[in-house]
Amino acid sequence: MTENLKLQKTAELIQAKQLEGLVIYSGGTCSILRPSYLHYFSDFKPLGPRNAAVVSKSGDVVLLVEPPWDEDRASRKSWIPEILGSAHFMEDLRSVLEKMAISGPVGVVGSREMTAEVYQTLEALIEIQPADDIIEQVARIKSPEEIAVVQKVAALSDIGFSAFYKFAREGIREYELAAQMEFAMRSAGAEDIFILLSSGANNFEMHDPTDRRLEGGDILIGEITPVLQGQFFQLCRTLVLGEASPLLQEKYALLMHALEHTLTKVRAGVPASVISKTMNHIFSEAGYEKYCYPPYMRARGHGFGAGSLAPGGVIDDNTEADLVKDQVVVIHPNQWLPETGYLACGGTFLITENGYEEPSRTETRLYIKEG
């Protein structure tokens, strides 16, 4: 979606909801658990602790950024023509609202990122109406440029996996391996990166990389998630250092079967819960029903970024939302099994009318690295 169409659609939704305007807020963080609405809307990745785009119902827009010296970077990154660097955010936000004659019911996007001070000050100025759904609706229609970003960040995840495979060896620490992966992805253009790892003979979960040194025979599991222009992309892979036992290969084949069978059901219009129910049925038939739910399992996937399963919701048996065309969705039958421990399998998919696309070029399989 071009910037003009993005702004036009936002203004139309503001009017449809009978609001006087919209405040799109960011606390300057990039979180894997929720979309960055301001980044999506403005094409500007904020760094300071308080930032906001203010949109009137007529389509006027101002971007307010903190600290003030970040105004120059914002002007180079964002399509928004009027940008104000701020050293006194709340005073400047009040002035912007007054200048744009915005009062009464105003939609607020990203309120979860606000401190109590920001929320309470804003509450004294306007009648706050939660409005994350406005940006969610705008983001559901992806432009060719946005699809191209998905392809680019998928390529970054492939680069991350290549480093994962290349540098995994006996003696390296988990955090040293993660550093090599991050270096490779950032060198290729990744703006943010989230990595979870675990290594050992029987892992219970993935976690932040530790100082544990890899050993021969380890099962190494990784969740590789680069970010580009606000779009996340995740690969879940399992690698064995040394020989993979027949038992491990058998159990990993079960995960592969769960993924492949589930993907035959994926397309726009299908309830997202079908993903979880299909996987859980396959594991239950194999005798692992009790391990399909907490504390052994949390979810079979999740949304990723603005316009996905809102807002970044997990996929489980109770997920009510349907899959929508052009959604970026993580689908993974990651599973803890008593015989082998936690195994990782799956990744990120682009939902289409008749199925899905898999932008990553990294094959989904059990990887074995001997020697």
Domains of the chain, with CATH numbers? 3-139 (3.40.350.10), 144-369 (3.90.230.10)
Residue reference for tokens 């994350």:
132
> Residue 60: which of 112, 22, 30 has the closest Cα?
22
- Amino acid identity of residue 350, one-letter, is L
pLDDT tens per residue, range 297-352? 889 999 998 989 877 789 999 999 999 999 999 999 999 999 999 999 999 999 99
pLDDT at 57: 94
Does residue 3 register a pLDDT over 90?
no
Question: For the residues 143-162, what does the mean pLDDT come to?
Answer: 96
> Residue 268: which of 341, 207, 171, 349 has the closest Cα?
349
- Amino acid identity of residue 275, one-letter, is I
Q: How confident is the model at residue 5 (pLDDT cuts 50, 70, 90)?
A: confident
> Residue 180: which of 224, 212, 230 has the closest Cα?
224
Does residue 214 register a pLDDT over 90?
yes
pLDDT at 72: 96
pLDDT tens per residue, range 184-193? 999 999 999 9
Cβ atoms of 70 and 47 within 8 Å: the answer is yes
Pick the more confident residue, 143 or 134: 134
State the pTM of this model.
0.92
- Amino acid identity of residue 161, one-letter, is F
